[in-house]
Structure 1
Amino acid sequence: MAERVRADSAHITPSAHYTGYVWYRHRLAEPAFATAFGRWVHGCVAPINWGARIGFGLNIEDFLLQRHLLIDARLTQAIEQRGVCQVVEIACGLSPRGRRFRQRYPHLTYLEADLPPMAARKSALLEEHGWLDGKHRVRPVDILAEEGEQSLAALFSGLDPARPVAVITEGLVNYFQRPVIEGFWRRLAEAARGFPEATYLTELYPDLREHPRYRQIRWGVGLIGRLTRGGYPLHYRSAGEIDEAFRGCGFNQVAVLDPQVDGAELGLPKGRMPSLVRVIEARL
Structure 2
Amino acid sequence: MSERTRVDSAHISPSAHYTGYVWYRHRLSEPAFATSMGRSVHALLRPLTWGARRLFGLDIEQLLLQRHLTIDACLSAAIEQGGVRQVVEIACGLSPRGRRFTQRYAQLRYLEADLPPMAARKRLLLHGAGWLGGQHQVRGVDILAAQGPLSLAELLAGLDHNEPVLVITEGLVNYFELPVIEAFWARLAELLGQFPTATYLTELYPDLREHPRYRQLRWGVGLIGRLTRGNYPLHYRDDRQIAEGFERCGFPSVRVLDPAQRVASLGLLAMRGPGLVRVVEARLGG
Question: What TM-score comes out, normalization by structure 1 length?
Answer: 0.96
Aligned to 1:12: 12
- Residue 144 of structure 2: SS of its match in structure 1? coil
User: What is the CA-CA distance between 1:213 and the residue it aligns to?
Assistant: 1.6
Q: Deviation per CA, 1:253-278: give whole Å up to 9, x if none.
A: 00000012245423233222322100
Shift in alpha-carbon separation, 1:114–1:32, aligned structure 2, 3 A: same
For this pair of structures, how many residues does the alignment match?
282
Distance (whole Å) between structure 2 residues aligned to residue 7 and residue 198 of structure 1: 31
Distance (whole Å) between structure 2 residues aligned to residue 200 and residue 7 of structure 1: 26
Shift in alpha-carbon separation, 1:124–1:184, aligned structure 2, 3 A: same
The answer as to whether partners of 1:165 and 1:197 remain within 8 angstroms in 2 is yes
Aligned to 1:204: 204
Aligned to 2:46: 46
What are the within-5 Å matches in structure 2 for residues 102-181 of structure 1?
102-181=102-181
Distance (whole Å) between structure 2 residues aligned to residue 92 and residue 203 of structure 1: 13
Aligned to 1:225: 225
The answer as to whether partners of 2:71 and 2:279 remain within 8 angstroms in 1 is yes
Shift in alpha-carbon separation, 1:164–1:249, aligned structure 2, 3 A: same
Q: Deviation per CA, 1:209-229: give whole Å up to 9, x if none.
A: 111121122122122212211
2:162 maps to a residue whose letter is: A
The answer as to whether partners of 2:170 and 2:203 remain within 8 angstroms in 1 is yes
The range that moved more, 189-198 or 113-122, is: 189-198
Distance (whole Å) between structure 1 residues aligned to residue 77 and residue 193 of structure 2: 20
The range that moved more, 216-225 or 102-111, is: 216-225
The answer as to whether partners of 1:49 and 1:60 remain within 8 angstroms in 2 is yes
- Structure 2 runs not aligned, ≥5 long: none
User: What is the CA-CA distance between 1:6 and the residue it aligns to?
Assistant: 8.3
1:99 maps to a residue whose letter is: R
Distance (whole Å) between structure 2 residues aligned to residue 196 and residue 262 of structure 1: 30
User: What is the CA-CA distance between 1:28 and the residue it aligns to?
Assistant: 0.1
Aligned to 1:31: 31
Question: What TM-score comes out, normalization by structure 2 length?
Answer: 0.96
The range that moved more, 86-95 or 272-281, is: 272-281
Distance (whole Å) between structure 1 residues aligned to residue 90 and residue 269 of structure 2: 25
> Does residue 1:266 correspond to 2:266, yes or no?
yes
The answer as to whether partners of 1:147 and 1:153 remain within 8 angstroms in 2 is yes
Distance (whole Å) between structure 2 residues aligned to residue 190 and residue 88 of structure 1: 16
2:8 maps to a residue whose letter is: D
1:246 maps to a residue whose letter is: F
Q: Deviation per CA, 1:31-72: give whole Å up to 9, x if none.
A: 000001000000011111100110011100000000000000
Q: Deviation per CA, 1:91-136: give whole Å up to 9, x if none.
A: 0000000000000001100000000000000000000011011121
The range that moved more, 205-214 or 257-266, is: 257-266
The answer as to whether partners of 1:63 and 1:277 remain within 8 angstroms in 2 is yes
Shift in alpha-carbon separation, 1:168–1:215, aligned structure 2, 3 A: same
The answer as to whether partners of 2:236 and 2:242 remain within 8 angstroms in 1 is yes
Distance (whole Å) between structure 2 residues aligned to residue 20 and residue 148 of structure 1: 29
The answer as to whether partners of 1:7 and 1:144 remain within 8 angstroms in 2 is no
1:48 maps to a residue whose letter is: L
Runs ≥4 residues deviating over 6 A: none
Aligned to 1:79: 79
Aligned residues with identical type, % of pairs: 71
1:8 maps to a residue whose letter is: D
Distance (whole Å) between structure 1 residues aligned to residue 255 and residue 149 of structure 2: 32
- Residue 77 of structure 1: SS of its match in structure 2? helix
Distance (whole Å) between structure 1 residues aligned to residue 241 and residue 146 of structure 2: 26
Shift in alpha-carbon separation, 1:76–1:7, aligned structure 2, 3 A: farther
User: What is the CA-CA distance between 1:188 and the residue it aligns to?
Assistant: 0.7
Shift in alpha-carbon separation, 1:78–1:250, aligned structure 2, 3 A: same
The answer as to whether partners of 2:221 and 2:232 remain within 8 angstroms in 1 is yes
